[in-house]
A and B are shown apart, each in its own frame.
Chain A
Amino acid sequence: MAVTRDDVAHIAGLARLAISDDRMTELVEQLNTILGHMEVLQQVDTRHVETTAQEGNEALPMRPDAGPRFEMHRTLEEMAPDMRDGFFLVPRLATHEDVSDAS
């Protein structure tokens, strides 16, 4: 399952990471080396193994769909980088180029 430059470019896009050409070569090599070490897992017979996302803990207990509120020691206004008229200012969602890219 060799990883190609196209694969890394694709997953970098999914992960919202911009990778320079120089770095790309190194990353392709490193990911192939690391994933090569993972191949050993394919030889383990796990047909009868029941999987779980977390080991050792008891089943998660049911609880009311409401929790205690935790104390915030700073106001939202103090934490926001920019506000106007009581609204948070955030980066704009898209440019015309983004829209055409997506189509």
Chain B
Amino acid sequence: MTGPTAVDAVTASFARMETVRAGADGLNCVLWSDRERALAQARAVDARAERAPLAGYPVAVKDNIATLELPTTCASRILEGYVSPYEATVVSRLRAAGSVVVCKTNCDEFAMGSSNENSAYGPVRNPVDCTRVPGGSSGGSAAAVAAGIVRIALGSETGGSVRQPAAFCGVVGVKPTYGRVSRFGLVAFASSLDQVGVVGRTVDDAALGTEVIAGRDPYDSTSADRPVPRYRDAASQPMRGIIVGRPAEYFPPSLDPRVAALCDRALDALRAQGAQVRDISLPHTDLAIPVYYIVAPAEASSNLARFDGVRYGLRVTGDDGLRAMYERTRSRGFGPEVTRRILLGTYVLSAGYYDAYYKKAQEVRACITDDFRRAFASGVDVIFTPTTPSPAFELGAKSDPYEMYLSDIFTCTGNLAGVPAISIPIGRVGGLPVGGQLITRHFDEAGMFAAAYALEHALGDEAHR
């Protein structure tokens, strides 16, 4: 099969952006694009002697991942107009495989948010229902895939920022194992949690994208020196004998019964493929949100210190000295959620509170990781959960910060423990997509994709009804 040329695919992608109104007057999922430059790159791909594996796959890239020709603003005023002088390794790998970056996607500012309402460039709208949020923080990437602009998009994960919007938009979202994918060129938010992730229209798209970007990178010393299997080979792996864990803590009595029913159907589908389902417990799950919202803001307060008006982007000058310039620039450049998290992070790291908050959170984080270790050591191969407690909520529906933080309750455990996880569509509630999450051992993305392929195949069209 030859497939479409890169030029055909890029042309179709830009046409789709217009059709679905991807800009600020519509979905608002695309922040930056350059049609002529993308077409020139596509022509170069088509001129290669051998067909590149991603030649028919234009990609969208979240605006916190460095690209050479398009701005990298993290959807923040403080980086307005910033164009990186170097390129993220993940982008280089996609381009080497024949892909063309057609746009940078909107997101929550510095990837801090669960609804994409924290962008300095306005909220993204969910293509399935424009009155709803697309999820966050990679809401623009999920919306771009759901709207048919691209089949593959890059996002980033710190607490569920790929899986949660993928679930809300009815597409597939992957968070690889911490260390599986290079973070070089990903603007740092919380370095012990951050990981580049992939949004795909199907499990196969997501597997292909993940396979291309994974692997050791000398520019990121936390990237693991492990071979990368061919994830697409997992498509033919049988489920017979596979043990699927169903953790009770992810199915509380308060879970939307319609979401619970779709999860039951998904588990039945896995059983029908030959898997065994076993009830398990991950007892520290309830503590994940408090832990996450100590660790992530603490790391963010340190990482975002570099945006000071001197080295990057915005500078608000005056005649009253350096410190006043720092404060003016940062206060005008950062939005409310980023400011709140920097303050929270500074507080939990400050003298007198470090042990009570940050050190304690790291200890409980170890307990959360241990929960997963024990589950997998007991013979469980893959854990199944709902990705989110409910489908996409309405724009503006959640004004209380902590209520918004609870949107990540089923996803941030994966980031805290570093394990790989994928969200795939498992059905709809009131017309809105619902995602199911599959979690496996560290570096067992192949097992994760095998279960995802099997579930996607077993559900068929039911996954989108």
Chain A interface residues (CB < 8 Å from chain B): 1, 3, 7-8, 10-12, 14-19, 27, 30-31, 33-35, 37-38, 40-42, 44, 46, 49-58, 60-61, 63, 67-68, 70-74, 78-79, 81, 90-95, 97-98
Contacts and interface: CB of A to CB of B under 8 A. Distances in A.
For chain A, what secondary structure do more than half of its interface residues adopt (helix, strand, loop), or is it mixed? loop
Given A34-B402, A57-B178, A70-B219, A16 B343 contact: no
Given A11-B350, A41-B364, A49-B363, A92 B322 contact: yes
B391 interface: no
Contact of A15 (B177, B322, B343): B343
B343 A61 contact: no
A71 B86 contact: yes
Nearest to A102: B323
A63 to B, nearest CB: 6
Nearest to B69: A73
Given A41-B290, A55-B178, 18 more contacts: A1-B356, A11-B343, A14-B346, A14-B350, A16-B327, A41-B291, A41-B294, A44-B364, A46-B360, A49-B364, A53-B192, A53-B362, A55-B369, A57-B179, A72-B85, A73-B87, A91-B309, A93-B321
Interface string B280-298: 0000101101110110000
Contacts of B346: 11, 14-15
Interface stretch (B40-48, B379-387, B412-420): B412-420
Interface residues of B, number: 73
B343 A44 contact: no
Please report whether the interface of chain B is mostly helix, strand, loop or mixed according to DSSP: helix
A58 B226 CA distance: 11
Contacts of A60: 221-222
A17 B86 contact: no
A98 B320 CA distance: 8
Interface in B419-465: 419, 442
A30 to B, nearest CB: 6
A34 B403 CA distance: 10
Among all A-B residue pairs, the 7 with the closest Cβ atoms = A56-B418, A46-B363, A95-B321, A18-B327, A74-B85, A55-B369, A16-B326
A14 B343 CA distance: 9
Nearest to B366: A49
A98 B322 CA distance: 8
Contacts of A93: 321-322
B398 interface: no
A54 B192 contact: yes
B320 A19 contact: no
19 contacts: A1-B356, A3-B347, A10-B350, A15-B342, A15-B346, A16-B305, A16-B308, A16-B326, A16-B327, A38-B290, A38-B294, A40-B287, A54-B418, A57-B442, A67-B218, A79-B85, A92-B321, A92-B322, A95-B320
Interface of B: 68, 83, 85-87, 177-179, 184, 192, 218-219, 221-222, 224-225, 284, 286-287, 289-291, 293-294, 301, 305, 308-310, 315, 317, 319-323, 325-328, 330-331, 334, 339-340, 342-344, 346-347, 350, 353, 356-357, 359-367, 369, 400-402, 405, 416-419, 442
Contacts of B418: 54-57
Given A19-B331, A41-B360, A81-B315, A70 B86 contact: yes
Most buried by A among B184, B325, B365, B417: B365
Among B328, B346, B364, B401, the one with the most A-chain Cβ atoms within 10 Å of its Cβ is B346
Nearest to B294: A38
